[in-house]
Amino acid sequence: MFSILGNATFRHLFGAQVFSLMGSGLATVALALLAFDLAGDRAGTVLGTAFALKMVAYVGISPVVGAYAARFPRRGFLVGLDLCRAAMVCLLPFVDAIWQVYVLVFLFQSFSAAFTPTFQATIPDVLPDEEEYTRALSLSRLAYDLESVLSPVFAGLLLSVVSFHWLFAGTGVGFLISALLVVTAALPAAKKALDQQDTLRKRLGKGFRIYMKTPRLKGLLGMSFAVSAAGSIVLVNTVVLVQGQLGADQTILTLFMGVYGAGSMVVAFTIPRLLRTVHDRKVMLAGIPMLIVGLLLATEIDSVVTGLPVWFLLGVAGSVILTPSGRLLARSAHPEDRPAIYAAHFALSHAGWLITYPLAGWAGVTFGLQETMLIMAALVLVGGVAALWFWPREFGRELEHEHPAHHHGHMHVHDEHHDHKHEGWEGPEPHVHPHHHEAVRHVHDFVIDDHHPAWPTRL
């Protein structure tokens, strides 16, 4: 997995990701302390609203950015977003009202909603070989898991010598280093769509249209929802389980979260080798029964000893599903459409968290923790059944399909699909003019695009 760091461009981008994640981790701790400083016992309400705003930004902003991301120079766009995020967090120590926190958090998360899918869509262009890209996905998963463990530790060390306000400064430094590493990376130019005059409505809908017409991606959405149902139990209710039911202290709470991350890290190390011999679909679907079993076992936890293996299993199961997801996205769109499709996935998958986060909290208070785990297990099952329904089998990349004869006009260049005569008035390529396509039946790497608006029904 670490051999992929031999690629200088990816090494810079991975370093940028690490510093960005560390900055975000420090910001999470600092925000919790700021909320308590401003609101006291109402800090939970402030944080809950802030996290809800985060999900709203992720769901609402990322598709808009995905529609335009390919039109901007990648390096300048990513660096600008890092600088904007640094500016927002550096303003947080100076707020004196809760509404100001909400405004800055929403702006910060909006910039993150623009940065993350654009960054993710860049990696397949840097690493076009799928095996190398798989290693990069595993390394990225490992970085996320390590951040969840190390950021609170690092924050605790800083808080022993400075006030929590300085954590925001540390966050800003993380984003500045991220920007510097992106500046020094030799990023490939984004491939632009031929038609740069598409309407806003068409650009906004393109990523979602590709996503919802591709069976493997609809299956991915079902599995992503399953992960959010199980993950919300871990992120929202671990503290209730550990300190409320088991009567343990905060040290045990961090141990539970660390074991959950360790399960995910085990998958990050092993999955590149596994995916060489087992197809993504089989690997990812295996995570569904693991999540269900984990949640059912969680209802019987009566001690720390019985709880830690369950949290390890849930970490393994979630990572089994999430780690290969980038491979499905990369193979399901042309390079020029990747920003839109990554943004669509970012929005749709976080919509699941927008549902399950509050549901896990509300159900835990209303029905009890064990009943909530059963509810979430049922939602995992729903997500798994949806994945099987929409992605009943892997159809392969190269599909035989038929195009009827048709006459239309769109932006194009002359290639094997557009070999026709001109009369002289059509202008330089790429250009638009009515042209005819003969009926053809052929086989090639199939993705949804302007010439392939629907998945073949006869396979």
* pLDDT number for residue 276: 86
The three-state secondary structure class of 398 is: strand
pLDDT at position 167 over 90: no
Confidence of residue 194 (pLDDT cuts 50, 70, 90): very low
User: Please, what sign has the CA dihedral across residues 168, 87, 78, 214?
Assistant: positive
Q: What SS3 class is residue 443? A: strand
Going from N- to C-terminal start, the domains of the chain cover 1-186, 212-396, 405-438
Show the tokens assigned to 398: 């190269």
Burial class (CB in 10 A: 0-12, 13-18, 19+), 318: buried
**What residue spans of 240-334 are helical by DSSP H?**
250-274, 280-298, 304-322, 325-330
Mean pLDDT, rounded, for 87-97: 89
Q: In the predicted model, is pLDDT for residue 199 greater than 90? A: no
Tell me 441's DSSP state: E
Q: How far apart are CA 315 and CA 176, in angstroms?
A: 31
The pLDDT value given to residue 109: 87
Predicted model pTM:
0.81
Distance between CA 229 and CA 292 in Å, rounded? 10
pLDDT digits (tens, 9 = 90+) for 405-434: 667 666 666 766 667 777 666 667 677 777
What is the Rg, in whole angstroms, of the alpha carbon atoms belonging to the chain?
23
**Average per-residue pLDDT for the chain:** 82
The H or E element spanning position 409 is strand 406-412
pLDDT value of residue 411:
66
What CATH code is assigned to 1-186?
1.20.1250.20
Give how far Cα 229 sits from Cα of 35, 166, 226, 441, Å. Answer: 27, 35, 5, 43
pLDDT value at residue 201: 61
427 or 248: which carries more pLDDT confidence?
248
Burial class, 402, CB count within 10 angstroms (exposed 0-12 / middle 13-18 / buried 19+): exposed
Q: Could you give the CA distance from residue 324 to residue 269 in angstroms, rounded to a whole number?
A: 13
The total number of residues written for the chain in this structure: 459
For 375-394, the DSSP string reads HHHHHHHHHHHHHHHH-SS-
Q: Cα(379)–Cα(442) distance, rounded to whole angstroms?
A: 41
Task: Assess whether the region 1-186 and the region 212-396 belong to the same CATH fold.
Answer: yes
d(CA 46, CA 180): 33
d(CA 375, CA 298): 12
Instruction: Determine contact, residues 232/353, Cβ cutoff 8 Å.
Output: yes
Q: If you search the block for the tokens 């609203």, which residue do you land on?
A: 49
| CA 434, chain centre distance (Å) | 40
- CATH superfamily of this structure's domain 212-396: MFS general substrate transporter like domains (1.20.1250.20)
Q: Is the pLDDT confidence value at 180 over 90?
A: yes
Residues 331-386 have pLDDT tens digits of 888 787 888 888 888 889 888 988 888 888 888 878 888 999 999 999 999 999 99
The residue among 232, 224, 212, 230 whose CA lies nearest residue 387 is 224
Q: Is the pLDDT of residue 217 over 60?
A: yes
* pLDDT higher than 70, residue 244: yes
The whole-number average pLDDT for the span 84-105 is 89
Instruction: Tally Cβ neighbours within 10 Å of residue 125.
Output: 18
**Residue 339 one-letter amino acid:** P
Q: Which run of H or of E encompasses 402?
A: strand 398-403
CA trace torsion 350, 352, 357, 362 (10° rounding): 150
Residue 286's pLDDT is what?
A: 95
Higher pLDDT, 122 or 239: 122
Asked if omega into 124 is within 30° of 0 (cis), the reply is: no
pLDDT tens by residue, 20-74: 888 887 887 787 778 778 877 676 567 667 777 888 888 888 777 766 666 778 8
Q: Give residue 412's identity as a one-letter amino acid code.
A: H
Query: Which residue, 116, 128, 172, is CA-closest to 343?
Result: 116
Q: What is the mean pLDDT of residues 145-174?
A: 78
Whole-angstrom distance between the N-terminal and C-terminal Cα of the chain? 36
The per-residue pLDDT for range 258-307, each reduced to its tens digit, is 788 888 888 888 888 898 888 899 999 999 999 999 999 999 999 999 99
Could you give the CA distance from residue 136 to residue 377 in angstroms, rounded to a whole number? 31
